[in-house]
């Protein structure tokens, strides 16, 4: 069973939060207060998530595959959410940087476009 767009975005947001070793409160608050993330979390079925998690369906590869099938705008929104989580604690750790670089390459999106989209989402 494929991941939904909302599942993919939520999964990658948590992955970004944990990329530096642990998800800290500022990172949690950031993505929970991001308006686009909130839209996706409302569509999130926790029971289905737990079932897919139990079956091993939640992977970075599956999340990337789901988002690659979506529009560039959707991909940009997703990366903006992840950038928001990445900058939450004021420092870009090695794990966060590696994950973001991988995603930028996968989606063929420039980091400046991600930063610009985040500014639009926050205003």
Residues constituting the chain: 123
Task: For the chain of 123 residues, list the mean pLDDT of each consecutive stretch of 10.
Answer: 86 86 69 72 80 88 96 94 85 89 97 94 78
> What is the spatial distance between Cα 75 and Cα 104, in angstroms, rounded to a whole number?
10
Distance, C-alpha 39 to centroid of its chain: 13
Task: Record the pTM.
Answer: 0.84
Which domains, from first to last, does the chain contain? 5-122 (1.10.3680.10)
């Amino acid at each position: 069973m494929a991941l939904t767009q909302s599942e993919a975005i939520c999964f990658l947001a948590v992955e970004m939060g944990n990329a530096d070793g642990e998800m800290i409160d500022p990172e949690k608050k950031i993505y929970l207060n991001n308006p686009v993330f909130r839209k996706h979390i409302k569509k999130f079925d926790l029971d289905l998530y737990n079932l897919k998690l139990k079956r091993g369906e939640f992977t970075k590869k599956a999340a990337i595959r789901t988002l690659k099938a979506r529009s560039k705008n959707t991909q940009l929104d997703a990366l903006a959410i992840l950038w928001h989580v990445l900058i939450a604690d004021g420092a870009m750790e090695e794990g966060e940087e590696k994950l973001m670089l991988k995603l930028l390459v996968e989606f063929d999106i420039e980091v400046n476009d991600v930063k610009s989209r985040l500014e639009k989402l926050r205003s």
